Structure 1
Amino acid sequence: MEATELRELLSTEGLRLLDSLPPFDQAADVVKSVAALRKAGHSPALVAAVLSQSKLRSRATAKFGPFADRMLFTEAGLEQATRLRVAAMHAGRFRDAGLSRIVDLGCGIGADALAMAAIDLRVTGVERDEVTAAIAAYNLAPFEQAGIEHASAEDVDLADYDGVYLDPARRDGVRRLKDPADWSPSLDFAFGIGSRLPTGVKLGPGVDRDLIPAGAEAQWISVDRDVVELGVWFGAVARPGVGRAALVIGEHGTAELTAAADSPDVELGPLGEYLYEPDGAVIRARLIGDLARSIDARMISDQIAYLSSDTKVETPFAVGFRITETLPLDERAIKKRLQTLGIGTLEIKKRGVDIDPAAFRSKLSLKGNGKATLFLTRVEGKRVALVAERI
C-alpha cells in the first residue's frame, strides 16, 4: 500500500465508505461495484482503496474473527500477522510472568500488540515502515495503554521496558531472505536481547533448529494441522524445564506436548491395523517418541514420521487411519487395486520415497464413488503403498 492510498483510506469519507460496504463477495462483479461507487461521487483513488481494504478484511476474518471488521491491513501485513488466538497466548506469557511494560519490535499491523493491550499490558509497537506503522496505530487506537513508534528495532532504547517481543522481517519486498543475518532485525540481535531481558521471538516453523540457543524454550504451534510459527522464549517468559513444545490448536481446543529436549524415538515394530500421522508441530519439535509412548505405538521404519499400533486411539497430536490394504509400491498394481475397489477420490501422502504425488495420481485413472487415503512410504525399510481410511 502506498502512502497516497492510505491517506484516501484514513479520510473521514474513506472510513465511512469502507464501513458502509456490504461483506466482500468474491463472486461479485467488481466492475459494477466500481461503477456504482463512482456514480455516487467517490474518486477513483478512494474507490480502489476501499474495495482493496474490504477484500483484505474478508480474508482477515480467518485470523482475527469479527475484530477484522474494524481493522485495517496491508497485503504483506496480513500475511505475516499472528493469528489473534495465538497472539493472545503470547500476551499471556508476559502477563503471567508479572511483566507490564512491553515493546513489540517489528510489530507489523499490530496483531501481537493488540492482544497485549487487550489484557491491560502497556505496549509500544515499533515499526520501521511508515505506512504499516500508521495502520498499526489505527488498529491500536482504542487502547490508551498502547502506542506506536515509527522507528527501526535497533534504534529503540529498551531501558523503559521489562519485556520484549520481536518478529524479525524475513522478506525484502517480495524476496525471502535466507540468511538470518539479513533479517530485520537480525537473528543475532533478537537473541542478544533474549540474553538480557524476558523476550519472545517469532520465527518461521522451518528455521534451522541448530540456531536455537541452548537454554531457550522452543515452541512450535499448529492451527488446524498447519504449522504456523516457532516461538523462542527467554527468561521469565520461558517455562522452567521446557526446552521443546508442540502446541496444537484445532476444533478440540488446545493441547500441548512438552519436554526438556528432543525425545528419543521408540523402537521399530511391525505394521499394525492403525497408522498415525503426527501433527507437524510434534514432528518439528521432535517429540514423536513421546507421542508414540503416550499412545502405545511404534515406528514403522527408521526416520519415517509415521506411527502404528494395533488399537484405535484418539489424540489431538496425530491423525489416525485404519489400514485396509498393503500393496507393493508398484504403479500398475496400485492402479488395478484402486479400480477394483472403486476409489474415485484419493488423498495421497508420502514419506521416505522420492515420488511426486500429483504426477503419481495422474497415472492412476481414478474412477468410482469410493474414498481412501494412499500412503506411499517404507515399512521396515521396504517401499510399500498403504490404502487406508480416516478414523
Structure 2
Amino acid sequence: MDADGLSRLLTPDGWALLSALPPYDERLAMPLGERLRAEGLHPSLVAAALTQSRLRGKARAKLGDFADGMLFTPAGLEQATRLEVGAHHARRYRDAGLAHVADLTCGIGADALAFAGVGLRVTAAELDEMTAAIATVNLRHFPEVEVRHTDGLTLDLTGVDGVYADPARRAGGSRVFDPAAYAPPLDAVLAVRERVPALGLKLGPGIAHRDLPDDARAQWVSVDGDVVELGLWFGPLAPEGPGRSALVLVGGQPHVLAPDEVAHAHVGEVGTYLYEPDGAVIRAGLVGDVALEVRGRLVDPTIAYVTSDELAATPFATAYRVLDRMPFGLKRLRTYLRERGVGRLTIKKRGTAVVPEQLRRQLDLRGDATGTIVLTRVAGHQTVLVVEPVGDEVTSTNAPGGS
C-alpha cells in the first residue's frame, strides 16, 4: 500500500468500502477488484482496501476482534505482538507502579494499544512515516497515546518512567540474527537503561544465552505450543531479579516456570511416560526443572525429552505413554507398523537427521490405524519410541502443576 492508497482509504468513502468488504478470499480477490474498479472506484483505493482486508484476516490470529478496526503493513503485522502477550507486558509495567511508557519502536501500535489498555500514558515513536501514520489510526481511540514520526532513540525521556522496544530483526525479507544488526542495534537500546532503569525488550526467541545481559530477567514466551518471543526485563520491571524463566500460555491461561536456581536432571532408563517440554521451557534451558516437577530424568544428556514412571500434570510439557521401543531401522519399523495396520502416523523427532516426510514415504504406510513415534537418541543410541498422547487423563492426577 502506497501513500496515495492510504490517503484514499482514510476518507469516509474509503473507510466505508473497507468495512463493507466480505471476509478475504484469495480466490475471489481478483474478480472483486475488477468489479469495484468497473464501478468507478480508484484503482489505488481498491488495491489498498483489498490489501487491508487480507492483512486484517491474518491479524485476527494475533489481535482478535481489534484487527477489524486496524490498518497494517505486512512487516508491521509480522512483528506485532500478540494481544494476550502484550497484555502481560502491559501489566508488568502497571504492577511496577509506572505511569508513562515510551515505546521506542511502536510499529503498527500493537504494544502501545496494550499499554493504553491498562491505563498507561504512552509516547510511541516510529521511524517509518507510513507505519507511524498507520499506528496513529490504530491508536485513535486512546487519547493517552501520542504517536511521533521519529527515531525512538532520540526521544526526550523527561517524565518517562518506563521504556519498551521491539527492534526490527528483518532486513531485505530475511531474518537478522546478529544483535548488532537489529534496527536499532541491541546495544543502543540497552544503553537507554542508564537513563530509565525500567526497560523492557521484545526479541526473537532464538538469541543465544551468551548474548543476554547479566542483569536481565529473560523470559521466553509460548502461546499454545508456539514459541513467539523472548522478553528482557530490567530494573523495576524485574522484581524477581536477573535469571531465566518461561511464560507458557495455554488456552489463554498463563503458567510461569521461574526457578530460583536452574535444576540439572540426571539421565536414566526410558520409563512408562515420555514428556516433551514446551519450546519456551527448552529455550530457557529449564528442561531439568520439568524433570524435577514430574519426578523424571532425561533420556539422553543432549536431548530435551524427559521420561518418568509417573504421570504428572504439568502445563510445561506434553505427556505420552510409552508403548514400545526399538533401535532405529527402516525395515524393522516398516514391518512393525504394517503388522499393526498403521496408515496414519505422527512422527516426532529430536537429535536425529531423519526427515519425517521422507521417512513417511519410505515406510509406505497402509491401514486404518493411527500411531505416533518419537525418533531420538536414548543413551547415545538412535531409538524409536512408540507412544500415545495421554490427553485429558493427566488432568485427573494429583501432581504438581504450573502457576
Q: TM over 0.5, yes or no?
A: yes
Q: Which runs of 4+ in 1 moved over 6 A?
A: none
Distance in 2 separating the partners of 1:6 and 1:343? 54
Distance in 2 separating the partners of 1:48 and 1:174? 22
My pick for the range that moved more, 236-245 or 126-135, is 236-245
Partner of 1:118: 117
Letter in 1 for 2:231: G
Determine if the alignment matches structure 1 residue 227 to structure 2 residue 227.
yes
Partner of 1:194: 193
- SS of the residue aligned with 1:377? strand
Determine if the alignment matches structure 1 residue 318 to structure 2 residue 310.
no
Residue pair 1:343, 1:367 contacting (<8 A) in 2 also: yes
Determine if the alignment matches structure 1 residue 340 to structure 2 residue 316.
no
Partner of 2:327: 328
Matches within 5 A, 1:232-311: 232-241=232-241, 243-251=243-251, 253-260=253-260, 263-311=262-310
Partner of 2:36: 37
Partner of 2:63: 64
Partner of 1:82: 81
The change in CA–CA distance for 1:97 and 1:258 in structure 2 (over 3 A counts) is same
My pick for the range that moved more, 251-260 or 165-174, is 251-260
Distance in 2 separating the partners of 1:360 and 1:252? 35
The change in CA–CA distance for 1:242 and 1:229 in structure 2 (over 3 A counts) is same
Distance in 1 separating the partners of 2:104 and 2:48? 28
Partner of 1:2: 2
Letter in 2 for 1:19: S
Cα RMSD after superposing both structures: 1.4
The change in CA–CA distance for 1:260 and 1:159 in structure 2 (over 3 A counts) is farther
The change in CA–CA distance for 1:142 and 1:252 in structure 2 (over 3 A counts) is closer
Residue pair 2:109, 2:138 contacting (<8 A) in 1 also: yes
Per-residue deviation, 1:252: 6.5
Distance in 1 separating the partners of 2:256 and 2:331? 42
Per-residue deviation, 1:258: 0.2
Determine if the alignment matches structure 1 residue 160 to structure 2 residue 159.
yes
My pick for the range that moved more, 360-369 or 125-134, is 360-369
- SS of the residue aligned with 2:377? strand
Q: Which runs of 5+ in 1 are unaligned?
A: none
The change in CA–CA distance for 1:153 and 1:260 in structure 2 (over 3 A counts) is farther
Residue by residue over 1:87-108, the C-alpha shift from the partner in whole angstroms, topping out at 9 and shown as x without a partner, is 0111111111111111001111
My pick for the range that moved more, 60-69 or 188-197, is 188-197
Partner of 2:395: none
Q: TM-score, normalised by structure 1?
A: 0.96
- SS of the residue aligned with 2:222? strand
Letter in 1 for 2:24: F
The change in CA–CA distance for 1:195 and 1:219 in structure 2 (over 3 A counts) is farther
Aligned length, in residue pairs: 389
Letter in 2 for 1:46: L
Residue pair 1:242, 1:260 contacting (<8 A) in 2 also: no
Residue pair 2:276, 2:318 contacting (<8 A) in 1 also: yes
Residue pair 2:344, 2:371 contacting (<8 A) in 1 also: yes
Q: TM-score, normalised by structure 2?
A: 0.93
Letter in 2 for 1:206: G
Residue by residue over 1:177-214, the C-alpha shift from the partner in whole angstroms, topping out at 9 and shown as x without a partner, is 33221211111011112344201010000011111111
Residue pair 1:252, 1:316 contacting (<8 A) in 2 also: no
Residue by residue over 1:56-115, the C-alpha shift from the partner in whole angstroms, topping out at 9 and shown as x without a partner, is 111111111111110111111111100011001111111111111110011110000001
Distance in 2 separating the partners of 1:14 and 1:33? 16
Partner of 1:47: 46
Letter in 1 for 2:271: G
Q: Which runs of 5+ in 2 are unaligned?
A: 391-403
Residue pair 1:223, 1:249 contacting (<8 A) in 2 also: yes
Residue pair 1:244, 1:260 contacting (<8 A) in 2 also: no
Per-residue deviation, 1:369: 1.6
Partner of 2:386: 387
Residue by residue over 1:289-344, the C-alpha shift from the partner in whole angstroms, topping out at 9 and shown as x without a partner, is 11111111111111110001112222111011111121210011111111111111
Distance in 1 separating the partners of 2:64 and 2:51? 19
Residue pair 1:242, 1:259 contacting (<8 A) in 2 also: no
Residue pair 1:105, 1:127 contacting (<8 A) in 2 also: yes
Partner of 1:353: 352
Per-residue deviation, 1:264: 3.1
Partner of 2:203: 203
Residue pair 2:319, 2:389 contacting (<8 A) in 1 also: yes
- SS of the residue aligned with 1:126? strand
Distance in 2 separating the partners of 1:320 and 1:268? 18
Residue pair 2:84, 2:252 contacting (<8 A) in 1 also: no
Residue pair 2:294, 2:310 contacting (<8 A) in 1 also: no
Residue pair 1:241, 1:260 contacting (<8 A) in 2 also: no
Residue pair 1:242, 1:258 contacting (<8 A) in 2 also: no
Distance in 2 separating the partners of 1:199 and 1:269? 42
Distance in 1 separating the partners of 2:192 and 2:243? 19
My pick for the range that moved more, 137-146 or 234-243, is 234-243
Distance in 1 separating the partners of 2:306 and 2:178? 34
